[in-house]
Amino acid sequence: MNIRPLHDRIVVKRIEETENKLGSLFIPDSAKEKPQEGEVVAVGNGKRLDDGKLQPLDVKAGDRILFGKYSGSDIKIDGQEYMIMREDEVLAIIENAGSKTKAA
* CATH label of the domain that carries residue 88: 2.30.33.40
Alpha-carbon distance of 95 to 92, in angstroms, equals 9
Total domains present in the chain: 1
Q: Which residue type occupies 2? A: N
- Is 24 part of a structural domain of the chain? yes
**Domain with 32 in it:** 9-94
Q: Mind listing the pLDDT tens digit of every residue in the chain (104 residues)? A: 688 899 999 999 998 765 555 566 666 655 556 668 999 999 999 998 999 899 999 999 999 999 988 889 999 988 899 999 999 999 999 987 555 544 44
- Is 37 part of a structural domain of the chain? yes
- Is 1 part of a structural domain of the chain? no
Nearest residue to 67 via CA among 2, 6, 15: 15
pLDDT at 31: 54
- Is 101 part of a structural domain of the chain? no
